[in-house]
Amino acid sequence: MAEEGAKMMEEFICAYEMGEKEKMLYQKRESLVFRLVPTLSAAEKDKMRILEGLLYVVGEDGIHLGQLSAVLELDEESVKRMLEKMRGELAKDEHGLELVSYGGLYKILSKPVIAPFIQKLFQTSKANNLSQSALETLAIIAYKGPITRFEIEELRGVGAEMMLRKLVMRGLIEEVGRSDAPGRPILYGVTEEFMDSFKLYSLNDLPKIEEVKTESEELFE
């Protein structure tokens, strides 16, 4: 009985020591992470919300450090600190977004863990229940594609970032390349899913613009 008690006490002490070691390692890691998060100046803090807004507006096209520096009127080192601060904040588990940098372009994207829920959100609707804005955007891409977001916005006269994201998630459009324009923006085109949804064998089956105009004019005569 005494031997059993001694064994239990030994196991308890061992478990306690392991727990203390894990606690120390955790505290050390947290301390290291805290030290890695940059401290911002007053000017940098004031412009954090502007930086966030800029990253939101450019969306998946992303933006270069130099462009951010020019717009924010801060040197590149200051902008880097702000970006790292934002990256650290978004890295926390309670956030569904992350700040990434690919090919020198900074952008905010949803974390991979969110992908199944986004798919679930759109999986029940493809071409059905599309808004007038969605149909207009699809028509522009179908007739004018490959085309950039900026060109779509020029034609429609309104922002297209969120609409493009929705159409991508519904599988109706996709990235088909990059433009040679400054910043190499994404080029969008329609997908096979689009062709199936609208019963098209090829884009040549789309009504000619002249035919659509004639039909519209006849309706109002």
Say if residue 133 is in the same domain as residue 214: yes
Of 111, 142, 177, the one marking the end of a domain is 111
| Same domain as 97, residue 12 | yes
Q: In this structure, are 152 and 100 located in the same domain?
A: no
Is the same domain home to 102 and 12? yes
Predicted pLDDT of residue 216: 41
Last-in-domain residue among 80, 111, 142 = 111
Between CA 169 and CA 121 the distance in angstroms is 9
pLDDT at 76: 92
pLDDT in the model for residue 190: 92
Residue 26's pLDDT is 44
pLDDT for the residue numbered 128 = 56
Please tell me whether residues 21 and 54 are part of one structural domain: yes
Q: Which residue has the tokens 């450090």?
A: 65
Over range 88-107, report the average pLDDT: 90
Q: What is the mean pLDDT of residues 86-101?
A: 91
- Asked whether residue 155 is domain-assigned, the answer is yes
Q: How confident is the model at residue 36 (pLDDT cuts 50, 70, 90)?
A: low
What total of structural domains would you count in the chain? 2
Quick one: residue 131, left, alpha or beta (phi over 0 = left, psi -120 to 50 = alpha)? beta
**What's the pLDDT at 196?**
84
Domain that holds residue 162: 125-219
Residues 7 and 103 both lie in one domain = yes
Q: How far apart are CA 181 and CA 163, in angstroms?
A: 22
Please state whether beta strands 186-190 and 147-148 pair in parallel, antiparallel, or not at all (unpaired): antiparallel
pLDDT at 8: 53
Mean pLDDT for 161-174 is 87
Residues 105 and 130 both lie in one domain: no
Tell me, yes or no, whether 116 lies in a domain. Answer: no
Residues 133-145: b if buried by 16+ CB within 10 A, e if exposed: ebebbbebbbbeb
Higher pLDDT, 13 or 201: 201
Same domain for 129 and 106:
no
Q: Which residues, 6 or more positions from 78, have their beta carbon under 8 angstroms from its beta carbon?
A: 41, 43, 44, 69, 72
The model's pLDDT over 127-137, given as tens digits with 9 standing for 90+, comes to 557 788 888 89
The confidence score (pLDDT) of residue 11 equals 53
pLDDT tens track for 38-91: 677 777 788 899 999 999 888 878 899 999 999 999 999 999 999 999 999 999
Please work out, in degrees rounded to the nearest 5, the angle formed at the alpha carbon of residue 39 by the alpha carbons of 37 and 45: 115
Q: Are residues 40 and 70 in the same domain?
A: yes
The 8-class DSSP code of residue 111 comes to: -
> Are both 24 and 69 inside the same structural domain?
yes
Going from the C-alpha of 10 to that of each of 6, 13, 14, the distances in angstroms are 6, 5, 6
Count CB atoms within 10 A of the CB of residue 183. 16
**Confidence at 104, pLDDT banded by 50, 70, 90:** confident
Q: Is residue 120 part of a domain?
A: no
Whole-angstrom distance, CA of residue 62 vs CA of residue 178? 12
Helical residues (DSSP H) of 94-148, grouped into ranges:
115-122, 132-144
Secondary structure class of 175 (helix, strand, coil): strand
| pLDDT number for residue 194 | 87
Q: Which of 89, 111, 133 is the last residue of a domain?
A: 111
Same domain for 137 and 97, yes or no, is no
Strand, helix or coil for residue 180: coil
Is 141 a domain residue? yes
Supply the pLDDT for residue 31. 45
| 94, part of any domain | yes
CA-CA-CA-CA torsion sign (192, 198, 204, 205): positive
For residues 85 and 107, membership in a common domain is answered with yes
> Is 158 domain-assigned?
yes
pLDDT band at 3 (very low <50, low <70, confident <90, very high): low
Residues 173-221 pLDDT 10s: 999 999 888 888 899 999 998 888 888 888 888 877 654 444 444 433 4
CATH number of the domain at 178, please: 1.10.10.10
